[in-house]
Structure 1
Amino acid sequence: MRQTLLSFTSILFFSILTGTSFAQTLNTAQKPITNVPTTTRTWQRDTVKNTDPSLNGQYKFMLSRTRTSADGYKMVAGYRLDQLWKSVGDTLKKERAERKSLQQKLTEQEKTVSYLKTEISGKDASLTENTNKVNEIRFLGIPFEKGTYNIIVWSVIGVLAIALIVVIARSGKSISEAKHRTQLYNEVADEYQAYKAKSVEKERKLARELQDERNKLDELNGRR
């Protein structure tokens, strides 16, 4: 759009300069002819209206409403040139206003983006802090990372499990040894009880035999 405006402006300046140069050339090159009646030509405004309000449409409409001089030059009505120049000026003002408005919007958007970046940075820092708090565990007032704490806890559990297995294994061995010794004790006790019973029975038998011998001895003494 800006290039189009510059093109139209250049064309208008060129048209004005060309018309001025042509007028000066005619004034200097042509000599006044005497005894020729001069006629004054007036440019009447036509009633045809332009249907295309764009600059290109106005320019083409202006060219279509030109007149050709006897020398083959195109003559443009001054009021149409003024209208086109006014349209160019209004368009430039509008473009400048829109550009200024866009610049202001861009500045506001940059401020908004900067503010949002600051907010995001603050939220990222807060999120990092909260994540660190979530991943941090305090034990006896000492801070530990969650992963480190889990490693320590599972290591302690593993050591305790190994110790428990060793204790159970040793206890099982001790229990087995105790059962074996208890069995040996029971066997010895049974043997002792059997031996004791045999001894008592043998003692009784010997006592009966001794009593029998005494009885026999008493009978022999009585016969004498």
Structure 2
Amino acid sequence: MLLLAVNLQYAQESNDTEKLSLDEGPISSQFDYIARRSGNYRADGVRYEVVKESNLYKLRKNVLDSIAEMNKKTGELKATIAGHETTISSLNKKLDETTTNLAAVTEEKDSMSFLGIQVSKGTYNFILWTIIAGLFVLLGAFIYKFRNSNILTQEAKQNLSELEVEYEDHRRRALEREQKISRQLQDELNRQKKSK
């Protein structure tokens, strides 16, 4: 039984060791490979690990290559981030311009030009309706004055007409009186002539 357990343990370690390598895989598995391939001994009560120097140099080279690759990726990512930050700042600038333009357009849309001055629609409507109401008041006053003047004119025409009729009557009577007096005078002159 003991032999079988040791054999299984050895077979499992050899399978794990076979999968682990310094030529491929992540750095952590390469460290596992070094740890499994290292030997150990005791001297003066201290335990020492013995690592093959070529494996150690190979691991060192792999770690440095990984660090260089990570630095390269970090540089690429920093360049990408810088590009994205430039794009974001450009987009933010355009957004600010668009927001400013939108505010100007909204203000222009919500206002109207009145005598060359920009006023809000509410103020414009107030001014417009005040002017219209004022014109209606003036129209009402004009109509009132016109009616009063028309009534006075009609009265004046009627009075004139009555006066003309009265004048005609007076003239006719005066003419009749004058004719009557002229006849009387003529009759008196004729009598005076006859009596002489």
TM-score, normalised to structure 2's length? 0.55
Counterpart of 1:21 in structure 2 is: none
Within the candidate set 157, 162, 165, 1:193 is matched to 157
Q: Which runs of 5+ in 1 are unaligned?
A: 18-85, 138-144
Q: Which has the higher contact order (CA 8 A, sep 6+)?
A: 1
**Which AA in structure 2 matches 1:184?**
N
Q: Indicate the larger mover: 145-154 or 107-116.
A: 145-154
**Which AA in structure 2 matches 1:109?**
K
Report the secondary structure of 1:156's partner residue: strand
Aligned-partner Cα distance in 2 for 1:128–1:5: 52
How far residue 120 of structure 1 moved from its aligned partner, in angstroms, is 2.1
Aligned-partner Cα distance in 2 for 1:221–1:7: 175
Answering whether residue 184 of structure 2 is matched by residue 212 of structure 1, we say no
Distance change in 2, residues 1:166/1:204 (3 Å): same
Q: How many pairs are equivalent?
A: 141
Answering whether residue 72 of structure 2 is matched by residue 125 of structure 1, we say no
Report the secondary structure of 2:130's partner residue: helix
Answering whether residue 69 of structure 2 is matched by residue 112 of structure 1, we say no
Counterpart of 2:37 in structure 1 is: 9
Moved over 4 A (4+): 95-100, 220-224
**Which AA in structure 1 matches 2:37?**
T
Counterpart of 2:13 in structure 1 is: none
Q: Show CA shifts across 1:73-121 (max 9, x none).
A: xxxxxxxxxxxxx9xx77x94x665554433222111111111222222
Q: Which runs of 5+ in 2 are unaligned?
A: 1-19, 21-28, 42-51, 112-117, 189-196
Distance change in 2, residues 1:7/1:126 (3 Å): closer
Once the two structures are superposed, the pairs formed by residues 139-178 of structure 1 within 5 Å of their partners are 146=103, 150=107, 154=111, 156-157=119-120, 158-178=122-142
Q: Indicate the larger mover: 101-110 or 150-159.
A: 150-159
Counterpart of 2:8 in structure 1 is: none
Report the secondary structure of 2:119's partner residue: helix
How far residue 203 of structure 1 moved from its aligned partner, in angstroms, is 0.5
How far residue 201 of structure 1 moved from its aligned partner, in angstroms, is 1.5
Aligned-partner Cα distance in 1 for 2:32–2:109: 76
How far residue 198 of structure 1 moved from its aligned partner, in angstroms, is 1.6
How far residue 184 of structure 1 moved from its aligned partner, in angstroms, is 1.4
**Which AA in structure 1 matches 2:81?**
K
How far residue 163 of structure 1 moved from its aligned partner, in angstroms, is 1.9
Instruction: Give the fraction of aligned pairs with identical amino acids, expressed as a percent.
Output: 11
Counterpart of 1:55 in structure 2 is: none
**Which AA in structure 2 matches 1:207?**
R
Once the two structures are superposed, the pairs formed by residues 13-92 of structure 1 within 5 Å of their partners are 13=39
TM-score, normalised to structure 1's length? 0.49
